Amino acid sequence: AKDYELRQYETAKWVSTVIRGETQKEAMRQGFWKLFHYIQGKNEREMKIDMTVPVTCLVKSGCTDFKISFFVPFEHQDCPPQPTDSDVFIEERKAAALFVRSFGGFASPEKYAEEADALARTLRNRGQPFHEDFFYTAGYDSPFKVFNRHNEVWYFKK
- Write out pLDDT tens, residues 70-114: 999 999 999 999 999 999 999 999 999 999 999 999 999 999 999
Return the pLDDT at 119: 98
The CATH number of whichever domain residue 58 belongs to comes to: 3.20.80.10
Structural domain boundaries, residue 119: 5-156
CA dist., res. 134 & res. 124, Å (int) = 15
Per-residue pLDDT at 41: 98
Apex CA 92: angle with CA 114 and CA 49, to 5°? 90
pLDDT in tens, 145-157: 999 999 999 999 9
For the cut 90, the answer to whether the pLDDT of residue 12 exceeds it is yes
Name 148's bridge partners: none
pLDDT at position 1, please? 79
Q: What DSSP letter does each residue of 109-147 carry, written as one string?
A: HHHHHHHHHHHHHHHHHTT--B-TTEEEEEE-S-TT--S
pLDDT category at 37 given cuts 50, 70, 90 is very high
How many structural domains is the chain composed of?
1
Is 2's pLDDT higher than 90? no
pLDDT (0 to 100) of residue 144: 86
Band of pLDDT at residue 26, cut at 50, 70 and 90: very high
The pLDDT of 56-80, averaged and rounded, is 97
Q: Residue 143: which pLDDT band, with cuts at 50, 70 and 90?
A: confident
